[in-house]
Amino acid sequence: MSNYKIDTKCIQSGYVPENGQPRVLPIYQSTTYRYTDADNLGDLFDLKVEGHMYSRISNPTLACVEEKIADLEGGTGAMLVSSGQSANLCAVLNIASAGQNIVALSEIYGGTVNLFAVSLKKMGIETRFATGSMSDEEIDALFDENTRLLFGETIANPALRVLDIERFAKIAHRHNVPLVVDNTFPTPVLCRPFEFGADIVTHSTTKYMDGHATVLGGVIVDGGRFDWTAGSKYPELTTPDESYHGVVYTEQFGNKVAYITKARVQLLRDFGCTMSPMAAFILNLGLETLSLRMEKHCKNALKVAEYLKTNPHVSWISYPGLEDDSQYLLAKKYLPDGCCGVISFGVKGGREKAVKFMNGLKLAQIVVHVADARTSVLHPASTTHRQLTDEQLVASGVLPEQVRLSVGIENPDDIISDIAQALEL
């Protein structure tokens, strides 16, 4: 890990060229790697030496971007995957299998709710949902000896509830399981969950990290501090892996990178949800300006949120950066530099008025996306959260009149006048 500040890391971490090499990270558009002798390759297959053997598992372009993201989060290693969904899927499957269960906050991204409640269930993994408002005792009661991890989002999409990371890390650790935090919305520029006790961090890099709405991607980062050997709870990491001639991940790689190494050499090898070198290159371009963009997103969003509060057509507004927001105290602690660009608010007149408002926008556009440079809006109840039942909708904090506004990095006056005219319609 470098000692540079976060904005320096965005630019300098990861790729470090040697004398005479290209200054900018090259795209290694190659699926394969050449070896001069077969024994050398055999050692790679046995995980005795480090190196690339096939781009489904690793690639030099991706490796540099992985190193940058690990450095940004303050983790010991990272693994890029093809999407945020794959990141959360692999983060769970790396340490959970049929017959076991996980505990997750219900205030999370709708896609993750579907993944956990529907698809993982079909694979025999049960998800027990908790809410931030439950007492410690109520949450404790969800755990048993088959619980493998606790999962939450730093800023829940789209409920905009801030995760009390220290509290949930404590809960997870007293049950000897890791806390996995999806840190997509804040990015490591605004919050680094490892500093508050989280053990594994995931991201949809599709959002702010790429920042330009160009490439899908995800990443898992290992905090390197969880003791997988305590209590023989994680045999997949502490006993021989038959698919690698009996490698024991915690023995060969140590607690520091056992989790992320296993995720790569077993899950990426077997599932193949790999990111392409071209996508990694584009993601890296986005990362270079991440700190600059986050600063502007935060500033703009706060201005827009303050404006919305004064508009008579707005029934409620949720933005953790507002002093009277229910999440303000948590935001002050975990997000002191800003709360990202996403705002949720209700339009007076319910679902119908919300849709009318969205149709009337000129600068802000309706897209199924958040967290990129362009201001955009979405109606969660009829789009991203459409597959959820009414009960799940309420649990994930979505209301029919709710608009999710993703404030971009345009001039804030232009964004505000656009909103103002559309709310008059």
Residue ranges binding ligand PLP (CB under 6 A): 83-85, 109, 111-112, 153, 157, 182, 184, 204, 206-207, 216, 218
Give the integer Cα–Cα distance in Å for 4 and 227: 28
Residue 155 or 237 having the CB closest to ligand PLP: 155
Closest separation in Å from C-beta 388 to ligand PLP: 15
d(CA 285, CA 91): 25
From residue 283, give the alpha-carbon distance in Å to each of 5, 61, 68, 200, 208: 20, 11, 11, 21, 10
Give residue 303's identity as a one-letter amino acid code.
Answer: K
* Cβ 114 to ligand PLP shortest distance, Å: 10
- Which string of b and e fits 316-327 if b means at least 16 CB within 10 Å? ebbbbbbeebeb
Rounded to a whole number of angstroms, the distance between the first and last alpha carbons of the chain is 52
Dihedral angle of Cα 28, 30, 33, 34, to the nearest 10 degrees: -100
Minimum separation from the CB atom of position 86 to ligand PLP (A) = 7
Answer yes or no: are the C-beta atoms of 146 and 99 closer than 8 Å: yes
Nearer to ligand PLP, 84 or 188 (CB): 84
- β partners of residue 181: 152, 201
- Residue closest to 275 by CA, chosen among 22, 34, 69: 69
CA separation for the pair 167, 170 (Å, rounded): 5
Pick between residue 371 and residue 422 the one whose CB is nearest to ligand PLP: 371
d(CA 387, CA 192): 31
In the complex, what is the shortest distance from the CB of residue 154 to ligand PLP, in angstroms, rounded to a whole number?
Answer: 9
Measured from the CB atom, the residue of 14 and 186 that comes closer to ligand PLP is 186
Nearest to 15 by CA among 77, 69, 81: 69
Q: Which is nearer to ligand PLP, 74 or 84 (CB)?
A: 84
Strands (DSSP E) contained in 15-146 are: 77-81, 101-105, 126-130
Output 83 or 127, the one with its CB closest to ligand PLP: 83
Which of 84/320 has CB closer to ligand PLP?
84
Tell me the residue number closest to ligand PLP, measured at CB.
Answer: 84
Q: Taking a C-beta distance cutoff of 8 angstroms, is the pair 402, 344 a contact?
A: yes
Q: How far apart are CA 281 and CA 11, in angstroms?
A: 13
> How near is the Cβ of 224 to ligand PLP at its closest, in Å?
22
- Residue 350 φ then ψ, to 5°: 75, -160
- Say how far apart CA 68 and CA 9 lie, in whole Å: 7
Give, for 134, the enclosing helix (H) or strand (E).
none
For residues 84 and 412, which CB has a smaller minimum distance to ligand PLP in the complex?
84
> Which amino acid is present at 312?
P
Nearer to ligand PLP, 218 or 321 (CB): 218
Provide the minimum distance between the beta carbon of 299 and ligand PLP in the complex, in angstroms, as a whole number. 21
